[in-house]
Amino acid sequence: MKYNFNAGPSMLPREVVEATAQACLDFNGSGLSLMEIPHRSPEFRAVLQEARDLVRTLLDVPQDYEILFLSGGARMEFCRVPYNFLRRSAAYLDTGTWAFQAMHEASHFGQVITVASSRQEHYTHIPKGFEQRIPDQADYFHFTSNNTIYGTELRYDPESPVPLISDMSSDILSRPVEVSRYACIYAGAQKNLSMAGVNLVIVRRDALPPADRYIPMMLDYREHLAAGSMLNTPPVLPIYTALLNLRWLYRQGGVEEMDRRARERASVLYDEIGRNRLFRAVAREDSRSLMNICFVMDDEFAAREQDFLDFVEQRGIRNIRGHRSVGGFRASCYNAMPLEGVMALQQAMRDFEKQVLAGRV
Ligand SMILES: *Cc1c(COP(=O)(O)O)cnc(C)c1O
């Protein structure tokens, strides 16, 4: 048994991986691979439509919002968002590498107002009271709901005088969201939704301001809306895997159930990190992510880092090395991570602690 804690691309339910493999060989009994069928065929249109419908159902997306499957990764949306929404100024919350890069991209389209930043504190927390500082003349307020690298999360829909836009790449579909507060929500697929290669974009049709600049066709949300995610050949395989995963999610009980599981998994690990003498958490308690649980060895045991990685490896626990800018460990616990995975990690932490304290390793 292997437990894959990678931050992205991340684990998917085994049955989703198997059904994807099957569709690569023979799609729906057609004798053709999913990769070979016309993307405008009724068969693929049905895939796209069902995926859209499931996102609408699972996140309770209102009718005046459109659901798009685009490509270019979440980082493409860092540029598409300001291209389409930024006319004069936009407010951004600087909570990590991704947030910062989104701001940098937007700065070429107008004024970027940093509402608050935790950059000076190595992004170990989400700044308090930022909601009161969002300027009401901004075109939108952008934030990253989950900071994948630093393990902090804003697990609610903030109050804002201007429309919200959020990068939800690493916690999409892990909790209910009040979509009506947002002009646009986007997410790269490879954390909680599918494999890399597709982005989910949820956009309110009338939130798009009249274009006052030339927008290249592939960057123009309006063009994508008009074409129903078929402006060019869509990434059929990642969209199909997204559909399979959305069906899985629905059968498991939807986003309320995903939220419950996320809380359960995170409390097991944060409790253990708090109890265990070898480790300490990276993020401040009030900002901790339920998705990416970042921890390091206490200074006293810093030399044991590689030993611990080797130790967990023997137990089938993979990819818990922290991001290079944080170090230590990161256990990414997305929707597909079973409770047994975190229990296995918890047990490994306990057993390793015993060994170290007994001076045996
Ligand atoms: C992974 C990640 C990105 C980058 O995604 P790509 O699809 O590789 O462009 C952006 N934002 C967040 C929050 C992420 O976790």
Smallest CA-to-CA distance from 151 within 288, 250, 31, 8 is with 288
Does the annotation mark 128 as catalytic? no
235 lines ligand 1 (CB under 6 A): no
Residue 298: the pLDDT is 96
How far is the centre of ligand 1, averaged over its atoms, from the C-alpha of 189 (Å)? Answer: 9
Catalytic hit among 139, 171, 191, 220: 191
Residue 210: the pLDDT is 87
Residue 211: the pLDDT is 81
Smallest CA-to-CA distance from 258 within 316, 136, 173 is with 173
Does the annotation mark 157 as catalytic? no
Dihedral angle computed from the Cα positions of residues 272, 273, 275 and 276, in that order, rounded to the nearest 10 degrees: 100
Could you say which residues of the chain have pLDDT below 70? 360-361
Q: In a 3-state reduction of DSSP, which class is residue 193?
A: coil
How far is the centre of ligand 1, averaged over its atoms, from the C-alpha of 188 (Å)? Answer: 6
The sheet carrying 279-281 orders its strands as: 279-281, 292-297, 329-332
Residue 196: the pLDDT is 97
Give alpha helix (H) positions in 34-170: 42-59, 73-85, 97-106
How far is the centre of ligand 1, averaged over its atoms, from the C-alpha of 279 (Å)? Answer: 27
The residue nearest atom 7 of ligand 1, judged by CA position, is 73
**Dist. CA 97–CA 164, nearest whole Å:** 19
In order of their start, the domains of the chain are 14-252 (3.40.640.10), 254-357 (3.90.1150.10)
Atom of ligand 1 nearest to the CA of 199: 7
**Other residues' Cβ atoms within 10 Å of the Cβ of residue 261:** 20
Smallest CA-to-CA distance from 170 within 151, 197, 142, 183 is with 151
Residue 359: the pLDDT is 84
Residue 37: the pLDDT is 94
Residues 221 and 208 sit within 8 Å (Cβ to Cβ): yes
Does the annotation mark 286 as catalytic? no
Atom of ligand 1 nearest to the CA of 96: 13
Residue with tokens 């597709």: 198
